[in-house]
Chains A and B, each alone.
Chain A
């Protein structure tokens, strides 16, 4: 609840920015609420029969506003005058501000539509429900209510199945408009009863736009989710009663209706019975109504009669529970268990309910107060409900970030392993090693070196272009070895990510919607790997050609075949002689020594570093492309991104500004 001072500050700001609007308008909410509270304070707990306006105002006490500052000094009569002024001010000042408010609310509704709660993190079912409720309340109640300020007050009777909602409505209306009976649940379609003058407004009006309407009376031939609208002379013009389905029977759609209608009520009458007032569901609904800003009345029906102390005990206990659950300020009524005749209760049992309702409805001012207080409370509730939603969205965003992190971690591990494997010589096994032995052992390696005979070194290289079979075989084996290592690593990376996601509660959910292919490498990867590896080989050869400046002392004597020497460099890079492939008897690895002798230590180090960096970046690129698939899955899963909560906060702020 906003303290009035704060609220009027908002209005002041608004008035300042808006052209030529009433200053008195800005003073209204604070000044108005305070004396009202005054009046309530005098007799809030009186249970006596009352029909005068004083009590009807008392009933309309949804906002325990604390505006004692200026209001304390004023008299009740003064307050009345102010109220009159507000009503007069409304139509004129309303339009601009109303327009802004509607715009802000529409924007908020669009924001609410713009995302999905996809991941089942704790609290999401509630958040989903809260979002739907918020959206429904905006559409069903807030927007129509702002547009149609003069419409009748809508009193919704909600409650447990078998609590006697329909019977109560029938009694209040004075005829059988809603079916009653022993079968549970009895009422399946909501039935709205209002003064005949308003039937058309409810039939065509903006209230509850999502529901179909049927003109009553058709209490027995009820069609699904239709709102049945019945005119009745018994009700005063400002009042509409809505008999809503129960909220706790086995029919889930009843629960949905009940909550939807509850959110659309100007006044929500919760009907429960002596047998079930301790049901968890009743209190959950009361709590929810309170959070959603509804004005609440409570009816405890079917209180056992006769056995006096028993009935009193129940009523007393119920009262204690109401206080405990912080809905103690709701207006309370009791209806005794009696014989039901003609679907109606004896008139005297509902007298105080009728008196209260008609009292509020007949006095336009009081009705306005109830209506506007409820509206204000609902808008107030947005202040906490929307940020609450935004927090839930943030939780989703966080989950998404976590999942993306898991992808990075999965491929990161795979990449690190791959890096290690290309360094520690574990690649030099099987065919690669055999080919190397073949190449080195038979002397083909040495054939790649030529003694200079007067000519320039490069010329000798070109002369030996035919690249003997063993060179080609070694090159192919190296390529194949690297390729399969990369493929296996990529596969491993994908598996890692899948495993990590599977361990992650939200990841499992995202995975459920994907095809099995994700668990493996992408189909085009092998082609890409082939290309990457062969271009790396070309790159190394190019390095040898351009940077492999032969040591001056050696260059005079020896020239070499770049292809063969590049293979030697690769073998050296991949870790020949480092670990388990230590050469028997050799103190240092052959390739390194040969290359060092050819190029000199420094030049060799430079080339080695460049070649390795090139390989790593090529593999990194391949892995990035693989990882992108998971990113795409996350994107297409429809998890909200980080802009959504920001926009929600923004929409809430805009709404506050517009009020």
Chain B
């Protein structure tokens, strides 16, 4: 594969008839050669799929395709198209250069309806002509033994194509012209004094191909119809027109197919172009320029952010925390903890008393509901999709404003790529933060034992009082009861004991409740912290990661635009 690294060859334009201007812009001086630029363009297309407007991508793909094919085909040949309006004398010029009557000429308009090609030097031209899709009947070759006397070596490597007109009522012709001008290496526009300012030519071809000024040549034909003075006026006017249309330094050659030496100037330009073998890469470079510039519209000059800043991250995590209801989950878990703790450390007497109170559920025959309600603590389940969506919206809000529209959209899409998984992932991450709550601390058992011991003591004491009353006061146990059960004087002491145990139980319960509250608050805090960590991880995995990836794609895209632009 050839690159643009062809040695600069001075394209000395030494025509007899005014050839203006002589100098052709040199090959791109910057480091990225044509292949690099095409590779850059390829990466742009890959980055742009699904993000940028399809027509731009399509054009770029078409160009990559075309460039690949053209670069594989003969670099020895330079494809030159002769295009112009009806009656401007393309075919006459073609025949004059070829030196034979190959393309039909005549008065009727439009005259030529198919492209004719003439090749100087056949080696490797076959595939090229196949690619150009020139009808086999309309292919001619020069530089065979026949032409040796004419010393036609100077044009060796030229593929000259005579196109149909672009402005006649035959719409088919225009399509043919459009096809060829997109693939030719050197575009030659043949105009005549009558039609050189036609809108059809300028609007449809000159202006869209203004960037290709390096590989464009304007031929003012039929100058034999004008006086020398008029020729100068005409060329000056044409040049002014072209420059106004954005062609920097347009090359204009005047020709006359009638005069003997009328086409020498044009021929000289062709000789130089063919000898330089550079038109192919220049043409493709101009194409790449054009397409790359359209890609350049999709980037801002300002350096884009490549990471999501901390404030935005914190906001996102906060929003996710709210969406998952982490504080509420923590509170609910604390309540559950306390409730369970109450089963252990609570004062059984109070619980029994409460159960004796009238219960609306029992009255409604819904007692089993109570158990179900107790089991309502199923742990955190998911997060609010709405909250998650709003959070995602908020995180990209500011970011996408710093980006070009299409990339802003892409970043938003990236942020949302996992939107539906997030609630579940958040729920999962919270679940992982809750291991400690199902464990029962050992001291609960101790307290429970203590409480039941106290209850036992209290019950025993009550029984003791009963005995004391029975034996001590009413002497039921006979004469000789134990002093312990017979001494009625002990009753106040035992009663005090009962009151004390009851009081102690109650005190223990309330003290433990405080302890439980403390530890549950501590657990709650710890849990919230764990949850936060989990949420941060989810936020990073599902949101921040994709966003930053996309931002990096954009950053690379910007670099590739520069490469494709050849900067």
B residues contacting the other copy or chain, number (CB 8 A): 76
CA distance in complex: A554, B385 (Å): 39
> A481 CA to B86 CA in the complex, in Å?
73
Q: Contacts A184-B194, A277-B109: A249 and B384 contacting too (C-beta < 8 A)?
A: no
**Beta-carbon contact of A487 and B390 below 8 Å:** yes
Q: How many Å from the CB of B228 to the closest CB on chain A?
A: 12
Nearest-neighbor residue (CB-CB) of B174 within chain A: A280
> Which A residues are in CB contact (< 8 Å) with B426?
430
Binary A-proximity of B222-266 (CB < 8 A = 1, otherwise 0): 000010001001100100010001000000000000000000000
Contact B384 A430 (CB under 8 A): yes
Q: Among A278, A445, A520, A593, which residue has the most Cβ atoms of chain B within 10 A?
A: A278
CA gap between A487 and B93 in the complex, in Å: 71
Bound Cα distance from A317 to B111, whole angstroms: 12
B137 is an interface residue with CB less than 8 A from chain A:
no
What is the CA–CA distance of A129 and B370 in the complex, to the nearest angstrom? 80
Q: Which of A310, A321, A584 contacts B378 (CB 8 A)?
A: A584
How far is the CB of A290 from the nearest CB of chain B, in Å? 15
Check A436 against B325 for contact (C-beta < 8 Å): no
**Which chain A residues border B202 with CB–CB below 8 Å?**
250
Q: Which residues of A contact B370 (CB under 8 A)?
A: 446
Task: Tell me which residues from 578 to 617 in chain A have a Cβ below 8 Å from any Cβ of chain B.
Answer: 580-581, 583-586, 590, 593-594, 597-598
Question: Bound state CA distance, A432 and B325, in angstroms?
Answer: 7
* Across-interface contacts of B373 in A (CB, < 8 A): 440-441, 443, 445-446, 590
CB of B324 within 8 A of CB of A431, answer yes
Q: How many angstroms from the CA of A62 to the CA of B384 in the assembled complex? A: 77
Residue of A255, A273, A274, A488 contacting most chain B CB atoms (<10 Å):
A488
Whether the Cβ atoms of B193 and A492 lie closer than 8 Å is no
Interface-lining segment among A367-375, A421-429, A649-657: A421-429
Q: Which segment, of B61-69, B96-104, B361-369, faces chain A?
A: B361-369
A584 to B379, CA, bound (A): 11
CB of A477 within 8 A of CB of B376, answer no
Q: How large is the interface on A (under 10, 10 to 19, 20 to 34, 35 or more residues)?
A: 35 or more
Residues from chain B with a CB closer than 8 A to the CB of A450 are: 360
| A449 CB within 8 Å of chain B | yes
**What is the bound-complex CA distance between A437 and B380, given in angstroms?**
9
Interface residues of B in 374-392 (CB under 8 A from A): 374-378, 380-387, 389-390
A438 sits at the interface (CB 8 A): yes
Whether the Cβ atoms of A446 and B361 lie closer than 8 Å is: yes
Interface string of A434-476 (1 = CB under 8 A from B): 1111101111011001110000000000000000000001000
Q: Name the CB-closest residue of A to B88.
A: A275
Q: Which residues of A contact B108 (CB under 8 A)?
A: 313-314, 317
- Distance from A276 Cβ to chain B, minimum over Cβ atoms (Å): 6
Select from chain A the residue with minimum beta-carbon distance to B359. Answer: A451
Given A249-B197, A275-B109, residue A430 in contact with residue B383 (CB < 8 A):
yes
Residues of B within 8 Å of A451, CB to CB, are 358-360, 363
Complex Cα–Cα for A631 and B389 (A): 26
B33 proximal to A (CB < 8 A): no
Q: Does B500 contact A (CB under 8 A)?
A: no
How far apart sit A452 and B382, CA to CA, in the bound complex (Å)?
39
Contact check, B386 vs A486: say whether CB atoms are below 8 A apart. Answer: yes
Enumerate chain B residues within 8 angstroms of A22, measured Cβ to Cβ.
Answer: none
Does B507 belong to the interface (CB within 8 Å)? Answer: no
Residue contact A488 to B200, C-beta cutoff 8 Å: no
What A residues does B165 contact at CB under 8 A?
Answer: 278
Neighbouring A residues of B109 by C-beta, 8 Å: 274-279, 314, 317
B328 at the interface (CB under 8 A from A): yes
Q: Check: A26 CB closer than 8 A to any chain B CB.
A: no
CB of A333 within 8 Å of the partner chain: no
What residues of chain A lie closer than 8 Å to B304, measured between beta carbons? none
A81 interface contact, C-beta 8 A: no
Q: Is the CB of A488 within 8 A of B386?
A: yes
Q: Is B121 an interface residue (CB 8 A)?
A: no
Residue of B nearest to A450 (CB): B360
Cβ-based interface call for B27 (8 A): no
Contact A276 B86 (CB under 8 A): yes
Residue of B nearest to A590 (CB): B372
CB distance from B383 to the nearest CB of A (A): 4
A590 with B198: CB separation less than 8 A = no
A278→B389 contact, CB < 8 A: no
Knowing A431-B325, A446-B370, A487-B390 touch, does A557 contact B427 (C-beta < 8 A)? no
Set B167, B226, B358, B384: member contacting A280, Cβ < 8 A: B167
With A441-B336, A441-B377, A485-B385 known as contacts, the answer to whether A491 contacts B390 (CB < 8 A) is yes
Tell me, yes or no, whether B187 is within 8 Å of chain A by CB: no
- A594–B358 contact, CB under 8 A? no
Residues of B close to A442: CB separation below 8 A: 335-336, 339
Central interface residue in B194, B322, B339, by most chain A CB within 10 Å: B194
Residue of A whose beta carbon sits closest to that of B400: A516
> Closest Cβ of chain B: how far from A258's Cβ, in Å?
11
B87 at interface, CB cutoff 8 A:
yes
Indicate if the CB atoms of B427 and A593 lie closer than 8 Å. no
A583 touching B194, Cβ below 8 Å: no
Residues from chain B with a CB closer than 8 A to the CB of A280 are 167-169, 171, 200
Question: In the complex, what distance in Å separates the CA atom of A271 from the CA atom of B163?
Answer: 27
Residue B192, interface by CB 8 Å:
yes
Is there contact, CB below 8 Å, between B197 and A184? yes
* Per-residue interface assignment for chain A, residues 241 to 267, with 1 indicating a CB less than 8 Å from any chain B CB and 0 otherwise: 000000011111001000000000000
* Chain A residues whose CB sits within 8 angstroms of the CB of B336 once the complex forms: 437, 441-442
B168 engages A278 (CB within 8 Å): yes
Tell whether A183 pairs with B375 under 8 Å between CB atoms, given A279-B200, A280-B167, A430-B387. Answer: no
Known: A434-B329, A484-B386. A594 touches B194 (CB 8 A): no
* A162 interfacial by beta-carbon distance below 8 Å: yes
Say whether B317 faces chain A, with CB atoms less than 8 Å apart. no
Q: Is the CB of A558 within 8 A of B363?
A: yes
**B200–A313 contact, CB under 8 A?**
no
- Chain A hits for B151, CB < 8 A: none
* Distance of A430 Cα from B335 Cα, bound (Å): 16
Q: How far is the CA of A434 from the CA of B430 in the complex (A)?
A: 12
Closest approach, in angstroms, between the C-beta of A400 and any C-beta of chain B? 24
Q: Are A184 and B358 in contact (CB under 8 A)?
A: no
Let me know if A491 and B393 touch, CB within 8 A: yes
Residue of A nearest to B378 (CB): A584
Q: Which residues of B contact A586 (CB under 8 A)?
A: 372, 375
Return 9 A-B CB contacts under 8 Å, by A number: A162-B193, A430-B329, A434-B328, A435-B325, A436-B376, A441-B339, A487-B390, A580-B382, A593-B366
Binding site for A on B (CB under 8 A): 85-88, 106-110, 165, 167-171, 192-200, 202-203, 226, 230, 233-234, 237, 241, 245, 322-325, 327-329, 331-332, 335-336, 339, 358-361, 363-366, 369-370, 372-378, 380-387, 389-390, 393, 423, 426-427
Interface pairs A-B: 9 shortest CB-CB: A431-B325, A278-B109, A485-B386, A275-B87, A429-B382, A184-B197, A434-B328, A430-B325, A438-B332
18 further contact pairs, Cβ within 8 A, besides A278-B110, A313-B108, A484-B386: A250-B197, A275-B87, A276-B109, A278-B168, A279-B200, A281-B199, A304-B107, A314-B109, A317-B109, A429-B384, A432-B325, A445-B373, A446-B370, A485-B386, A488-B387, A580-B382, A590-B373, A597-B364
Which A positions have Cβ atoms within 8 angstroms of B? 160-163, 181-185, 248-252, 255, 273-281, 283, 302, 304, 310-311, 313-314, 317, 321, 421, 426-438, 440-443, 445-446, 449-451, 473, 477, 481, 483-489, 491-492, 520, 554, 557-558, 580-581, 583-586, 590, 593-594, 597-598
